[in-house]
Amino acid sequence: MRKIRFLQALQQAKVTLNEQQLTACLHVDQPLLLLAAPGTGKTTTTIAKIGYLLHDCAYQPHEILAVTFSRAAAQDMRQRFMHFFPQLPPVTFLTIHALALQIIRATQMPFQLIDGEFSEKRRIFRQLYRAKYQEYPSEEVVESIESYCGLIKNLHVTPTQFTTIAKERGFDIVKGAEEVYEAYETYKQNHQPQLIDYDDMLTEALRILETDAHVRQDFTTRFRFILVDEAQDTSVVQHAIIEWLAEPHQKIYMVADDDQSIYQFRGSDVTQLFDFTKRYPTGKTLTLTQNYRSTQQIVKTANQFIPHVSKRFAKKMTTMNEEGVPPRIVLCQSHHEQMTFILHLIKAQPYANTAVLYRNNASSIAVAHMLMEENIPFYVKDVYGRFFTHFIMQDLRNYLRLAYGSQVKHYRIIDAIRPRFKGYVKKEHIAQLAEKDPQANLWETLRTLPQMQPYQIRFFEKCEKIFPTLQDKTPSDAIQAVLYELDYYKQLEKYINFMKMNEEACLRILSTIQLIAQSAKTLVAFFTRLDELEQQIRQSKQQYGQEAVTLSTFHSSKGLEFDQVLLIDVQEGQVPTFHEVKAFEDNKAALDEPLRLFYVAMTRAKTQLHIFATKRQPSSFLAYVK
Ligand SMILES: Nc1ncnc2c1ncn2[C@@H]1O[C@H](COP(=O)(O)OP(=O)(O)OP(=O)(O)O)[C@@H](O)[C@H]1O
């Protein structure tokens, strides 16, 4: 009898739950892990369940806490809740970070948040790195250090423990990360008041729950029922926080799809779900398997693909949707041919029906470039501004700038590209250049500086000969000359290896620059094109919800759906990366995450799924697409 009012309210909102969804809603007395396959209505079910708790189980809105993965998800859930139950006051929808901040604030301890999170934190990393190594790190290095620090906090491990985990999972540890991490921790501790960043919020909140009974009681009595959305992407420290909060009453509901766990690189840990009933001994696991999104053919392909993940909860999606057409794998002769194919498919449908999905953000640039040439509106989900400021892009711009004026006054350009001129130009040379006649020939001046070795002199002679010729070349030929005649490619490889950077990602940036260069006749036209492209990509946010093609990484496509989905650049080295393949030699679970990521991408399709790769090295995962 207890469920009557809740069902009536749902009926008014024109929502009919299926049997599995209803069972999950009504299970409120013990902990519940609800495993929901893609498109099976996990959000619908979670919101309906909140309605049940309020309508029929005597919970007050302030006693219910719904924890979401992101601010956008919290907002989306709140809106859907208001749509389903307009007559009910909303419950507390919070991200785990917002919750952690409330816990810290409850202690009255003095602290200061690192302001403007990303920019300020990165400024500190740069400063600490420079203090340690006497040179500024590139933005790519700063980003890697940042992710290293975040992982340590989210996995709740020491740097030594992390080294082992990194090896098992195929994570890179960039040069300097360990040292900067230590310095960063000390810097925050010594600051008055203590500094806290986004990741510290979680570890601090956990420490408080573990040690401060007063605060703990305050929160556990306030929130009598806890719902956790996207629990497959919850990190070790986040799970621990939730466990403390749920500990006295054991009223916990987690909704997750272990097959869609894709944020391991940020510290999420799907293995925590496998221990759900150890953590909550009275807990139960239920599943949602009826997919409302995709055709039978797409569901069948997804069902055959996902068991290749080594550890998962076995579950099989079903659908009552139409049969549809089988997903198609297209192996192309070249990248260019892939682009021609996708253009054809995009043009065959209303633009908003199509999403182009890729593993790496760099792929978005080539697609945006093509769509811009064709005057087709597009919306880029994650704007990849980094491409335009990437150190390789800056290097090439600087090299080409030197083609227009090789005078001593440009010595700052040489300083900027010095890490790739290693062995040829040293720091003291820059200081010496600064004192020379600014109008003098740069290469001649360098060549005649004291104590230059024959190999250096030979290199500067080559520069003097080649740089002036670049102006008259097409951009594409000029870049080739920089790469191979001026040895940039060799220097770049050395630098990437020395810094322990991700080589594939860097080389992808380079190949995309080369691709854009092919469409311009002069260097000026090339630079103008790059500026226009950057501007258009940044402005593409305005196309959201309009008649535009969506461009998204596999990661950011989670939760979305489109009639036609085009998965591009499905090459070995990207899907999976070579690092992941290497890690697989020692750890048979190392390919689980990339497999799940590919599964997330393919399950976005409602009626048509096309998968593209070039014949040269297609992804080994394609063998599992049947
Ligand atoms: N019982 C139902 N009857 C009809 N349609 C439903 C039902 N439950 C969910 N749906 C529809 O299925 C689609 C997917 O639902 P929802 O967005 O809640 O799924 P999801 O499980 O969160 O998906 P994913 O995990 O893949 O992002 C929505 O269009 C929703 O309206």
What is this model's ipTM? 0.95
Q: What is the mean pLDDT of residues 162-166?
A: 91
> What pLDDT, on the 0 to 100 scale, is given for residue 374?
96
Q: To test ligand 1's pocket by mutation, which of 44, 229, 299 has the most ligand atoms within 8 angstroms of CB?
A: 44
Q: Is residue 17 lining ligand 1, measured as CB closer than 6 Å? A: yes
Instruction: Write down the pTM of the prediction.
Output: 0.90
Q: Is residue 96 lining ligand 1, measured as CB closer than 6 Å? A: no
Looking at per-residue pLDDT, the higher value among 428 and 215 belongs to 215
Q: To the nearest whole number, what is the mean pLDDT of the chain?
A: 93
Whose CA is closest to 510, among 492, 498, 523?
Answer: 492
> What pLDDT, on the 0 to 100 scale, is given for residue 118?
67
For residue 435, what are its two tokens?
């004192």
Q: How do 562-567 and 354-358 pair as beta strands?
A: parallel
> What pLDDT, on the 0 to 100 scale, is given for residue 578?
86
Buried b (16+ CB within 10 A) or exposed e, 419-446: bbbeebbeeebeeebeebeeeeebbebb
**Cα-based distances in Å from 191 to 102, 110, 162, 195:** 22, 11, 26, 6
Four-CA torsion 224, 20, 557, 50, nearest 10 degrees:
-30
**How many angstroms is it from 102 CA to the middle of ligand 1?**
32
Residue 46 · residue 70 · CB < 8 Å? no
- Give the rounded percent of residues in the chain with a pLDDT score beyond 90: 80
> What pLDDT, on the 0 to 100 scale, is given for residue 184?
97
> What pLDDT, on the 0 to 100 scale, is given for residue 136?
85
Residue 561 · residue 39 · CB < 8 Å? yes
> What pLDDT, on the 0 to 100 scale, is given for residue 235?
93
> What pLDDT, on the 0 to 100 scale, is given for residue 382?
86
CA 480-482-484 angle, to 5 degrees, is: 65
39 carries a ligand binding annotation? yes
> What pLDDT, on the 0 to 100 scale, is given for residue 116?
61
Residue nearest ligand 1's atom 15 by CA: 41
Whose CA is closest to 467, among 452, 449, 485, 451?
Answer: 485
Four-CA torsion 470, 471, 476, 482, nearest 10 degrees:
30
HSE-CB at 189 with a 13 A cutoff on CA atoms is: 6
> What pLDDT, on the 0 to 100 scale, is given for residue 419?
81
Q: In what order do the strands lie in the sheet with 92-95?
A: 92-95, 64-68, 225-228, 252-256, 32-36, 284-288
Looking at per-residue pLDDT, the higher value among 301 and 135 belongs to 301
> What pLDDT, on the 0 to 100 scale, is given for residue 266?
87
Buried b (16+ CB within 10 A) or exposed e, 186-205: ebbeeeeeebbbbbbbbbbb
Helix axes 177-190, 139-155, angle to 10 degrees: 70
Q: Provide the 8-state DSSP code for 38.
A: T
> What pLDDT, on the 0 to 100 scale, is given for residue 423?
80
Q: What is the mean pLDDT of residues 141-165?
A: 92
Q: Is residue 18 lining ligand 1, measured as CB closer than 6 Å? A: yes
**Cα-based distances in Å from 62 to 31, 170, 584, 609:** 20, 43, 47, 43
Q: For the chain, how many residues are written?
A: 626
For residue 289, what are its two tokens?
């398997």
Strand residues in 4-107 grouped as ranges (E): 32-36, 64-68, 92-95
Residue with tokens 């190999």: 455
HSE-CB at 187 with a 13 A cutoff on CA atoms is: 17
Positive or negative, the CA dihedral 116, 117, 118, 124 is positive
Looking at per-residue pLDDT, the higher value among 59 and 385 belongs to 59
Q: CA-CA distance, 356 to 342, in Å (whole number)?
A: 8
Residue nearest ligand 1's atom 9 by CA: 41
pLDDT of 1 strictly over 60: no
Q: CA-CA distance, 596 to 309, in Å (whole number)?
A: 7
Element at 344 (helix H, strand E): helix 335-347
Q: How confident is the model at residue 586 (pLDDT cuts 50, 70, 90)?
A: confident
> What pLDDT, on the 0 to 100 scale, is given for residue 117?
60
**How many angstroms is it from 349 CA to the middle of ligand 1?**
24
DSSP helix/strand/coil, 70: coil
Q: Return the minimum-mean-pLDDT range out of 135-139, 358-362, 378-382, 419-423.
A: 419-423
Q: What is the mean pLDDT of residues 210-232?
A: 97
Q: Is residue 290 lining ligand 1, measured as CB closer than 6 Å? A: no
Q: How do 225-228 and 284-288 pair as beta strands?
A: unpaired
> What pLDDT, on the 0 to 100 scale, is given for residue 392?
95
Q: Is residue 441 lining ligand 1, measured as CB closer than 6 Å? A: no
Residue 100 · residue 201 · CB < 8 Å? yes
> What pLDDT, on the 0 to 100 scale, is given for residue 29?
95
Q: Provide the 8-state DSSP code for 136.
A: P
pLDDT tens, position by position, 229-275:
999 999 999 999 999 999 999 999 999 999 999 999 888 989 999 99
Which atom of ligand 1 is nearest to 600's Cα?
26
Residue nearest ligand 1's atom 5 by CA: 292
41 carries a ligand binding annotation? yes
Residue 549 · residue 376 · CB < 8 Å? yes
Q: Provide the 8-state DSSP code for 485.
A: I
SS (H, E, C) 361-407: CHHHHHHHHHHHHCCCCEEECCCCCHHHHCHHHHHHHHHHHHHHCCE
Q: How confident is the model at residue 579 (pLDDT cuts 50, 70, 90)?
A: confident
Q: CA-CA distance, 126 to 184, in Å (whole number)?
A: 11
Helix axes 198-211, 96-105, angle to 10 degrees: 60
**Cα-based distances in Å from 200 to 100, 121, 203, 492:** 9, 12, 5, 35
Q: What is the mean pLDDT of residues 8-13?
A: 91
Q: Is residue 16 lining ligand 1, measured as CB closer than 6 Å? A: yes
pLDDT tens, position by position, 461-502:
999 999 999 989 999 999 999 999 999 999 999 999 888 887
